[in-house]
Amino acid sequence: MRKFVLLICVSIGLSDTVLVEPAKIPESHNVIWGARGSRDVLVKREIVKETFKPLRIVSSDYEFTQKSDRVPYPRTITQIVVTDQYTDGDGGYATLKSGGPGMDFAVVHLKSQRGHGYHFTIDIYGQ
């Protein structure tokens, strides 16, 4: 009886490939807010990186402000591009907390996955 059950299990396992799931392609968690026009310029590029902490979620806020003493007429943000540098799916997530396109400031909240860090490139375009 044991040989019969073993034979059935082996034959089902070898002949049935429906149970095998296709490999998933890991993706980066890139985000784009707004739209860039032909006359827009790169106002700021920042690389934000945070190392992992075991069994914890790492988060912080990235604040973009334009100093009024250096820039008398601040540029209006047209697009924010947040590029996740982790391409294996272990990167973090970015959300726009306040400001953004149509404003002259922005606050982007950056958050990692549990047990991982994050590494983002933030590009801010304006006119």
Amino acid at 85: Q
Exposed e or buried b for every residue in 39-75, given b needs 16+ CB within 10 A?
ebeebeeeebebebeeeeebeeebebebeeeeeeebb
Tell me what pLDDT residue 9 has.
53
> pTM here?
0.75
Whole-angstrom distance, CA of residue 124 vs CA of residue 84: 15
Read off the pLDDT of residues 1-48 as tens digits, 9 standing for 90 and up.
555 554 555 555 554 455 556 666 667 889 999 999 999 999 999 999
Read off the pLDDT of residues 94-119 as tens digits, 9 standing for 90 and up.
999 999 999 999 999 999 999 999 99
* Domain residue ranges of the chain, discontinuous segments joined by +: 25-126
Q: How confident is the model at residue 67 (pLDDT cuts 50, 70, 90)?
A: confident
Whole-angstrom distance, CA of residue 10 vs CA of residue 68: 73
How would you class 83 by CB atoms within 10 Å of its CB: exposed for 0-12, middle for 13-18, buried for 19 or more?
A: middle
